[in-house]
Amino acid sequence: MASKGLQSFSRSLKTLRAFTSSSKDPLTQCLAPRLSRSMATETSMPSQISREYDPTFFQTATDPAFELQVLTTIYKFPTMEPLRFESYASKHLHLPLRRDILHRAVIFEGDFTRQGTASTKTRWEVHGSHRKIRPQKGMGSARLGTKQSPMLKGGGKSFGPHPRDFATALPKKMYDLAWRTALSWRYRRGELIVCEDGMDIEHPYGRFVKQIFDHNHWGKADGRSLVITGDFKENLHTAMQEAGEDGRVQTVREVDVKDLLELGRVIIEKRALDEILAEHQSDLVSKVRSAV
């Protein structure tokens, strides 16, 4: 009996030693302090978390009139000093990327700019007599008809181009959505820089604009920039023409969706941005009217 008790005691001792050795495992000793520190905090809970639950929040969020807002910093050009924040609707500057809609808008704009004035004359429109130029046989030459034949120099053109309209159709609501999608894509990437009204420089020299662009990393090395103004600014336009390698400047009436996507960033006057958003929201106006 004593031997059996001694054997059981030895087995218990071996188990205890094994447990003690496993508790000294380096991995366990390294993980335990990290887990305890990561779960602890030395800061107080935010006041927003301690507020009581408001059951009307989800009712407000699902309300058709409820609209999320995004903040945009307004800068002073050309010093780029931040002045204030402006809030815009998320349906204006925070839309998801839709490559299909942007592609259709760019194709629509490209087709609309095609002149379609190329024109050629058929054999019936070329000036001259339509008699047979030589006998059918007996001359030792190939058979020919009139001198207006497409096989002869100066003759008509077979299947040549004629004036036509290359414009394609695109619903206005989809085109307006493409405008806001392009602006949202720039905004989400941090490449939409909104400046205060009155964007202009004191002197119409390209070196001043180049210094501004180099200082803010807007130039050719960083992808060039598109400057959009509400109206024509003589000094700014003249200077940008001299510094054309760093970007270009356009008024709000000269810009299209392709321009918003083409260069590295968009520097836009607040007045111009508001005008674009007000003009291209036909798909939103109908929804609001139907809800009312």
Confidence class for position 58, pLDDT limits 50, 70, 90:
very low
Percent of the chain whose pLDDT exceeds 70: 75
Same domain as 86, residue 176 = yes
Residue 227 has pLDDT above 50, yes or no: yes
Same domain as 141, residue 254 = no
Q: Give the chain's domain count.
A: 2
| Nearest in space to 260 (alpha carbons), one of 93, 111, 113, 114 | 93
Same domain as 218, residue 123 = no
Q: Which of 104, 134, 165 is the last residue of a domain?
A: 165
Q: Show the tokens assigned to 17.
A: 């030693």
Confidence class for position 49, pLDDT limits 50, 70, 90:
very low
Overall average pLDDT of the 109-117 stretch: 92
Classify residue 99: in a domain, yes or no.
yes
Same domain as 177, residue 220 = yes
More confident residue, 126 or 15: 126
What's the pLDDT score for residue 243?
82
Classify residue 37: in a domain, yes or no.
no
Classify residue 26: in a domain, yes or no.
no
Same domain as 241, residue 144 = no
Which residue range forms the structural domain that includes residue 156?
Answer: 117-165
Confidence class for position 87, pLDDT limits 50, 70, 90:
very high
Residue 218 has pLDDT above 80, yes or no: yes
Classify residue 73: in a domain, yes or no.
yes
Confidence class for position 9, pLDDT limits 50, 70, 90:
low
Give the whole-angstrom CA distance, residue 119 versus residue 164. 9
Per-residue burial over 132-167, b if 16 or more Cβ lie within 10 Å, else e, is: eeeeeeeeeeeeebbbbeeeeeebbeeeeeeeeeee
pLDDT per position as a tens digit, 239-269: 998 888 889 999 999 999 999 999 999 999 9
Overall average pLDDT of the 57-61 stretch: 48
Classify residue 46: in a domain, yes or no.
no
Q: Which of 136, 165, 194 is the last residue of a domain?
A: 165
Same domain as 181, residue 246 = yes
Same domain as 171, residue 161 = no
Residue 4 has pLDDT above 70, yes or no: no
Residue 290 has pLDDT above 60, yes or no: no
Contact 260, 93 (CB under 8 A): no
Same domain as 274, residue 240 = yes
Classify residue 268: in a domain, yes or no.
yes
Q: Which of 130, 150, 165 is the last residue of a domain?
A: 165
Same domain as 172, residue 127 = no
Confidence class for position 3, pLDDT limits 50, 70, 90:
low
Same domain as 192, residue 75 = yes
Same domain as 83, residue 214 = yes
**Of 41-50, 56-65, 80-89, 137-146, which gets the smallest average pLDDT?**
41-50
Q: Show the tokens assigned to 100.
A: 């299909």
More confident residue, 203 or 264: 264
Q: Which of 5-9, 199-203, 270-274 has the highest mean pLDDT?
A: 270-274
Contact 249, 234 (CB under 8 A): no
Classify residue 215: in a domain, yes or no.
yes
Residues in the chain: 292
Classify residue 57: in a domain, yes or no.
no
CATH number of the CATH domain containing 260: 3.40.1370.10
**Of 46-55, 139-148, 208-217, 223-232, which gets the smallest average pLDDT?**
46-55
| Nearest in space to 245 (alpha carbons), one of 268, 213, 204, 203 | 213
Whole-structure pTM value: 0.69
Overall average pLDDT of the 265-284 stretch: 94
What's the pLDDT score for residue 74?
94
Contact 233, 199 (CB under 8 A): yes
Same domain as 206, residue 135 = no
Q: Show the tokens assigned to 239.
A: 């200077």
More confident residue, 39 or 193: 193
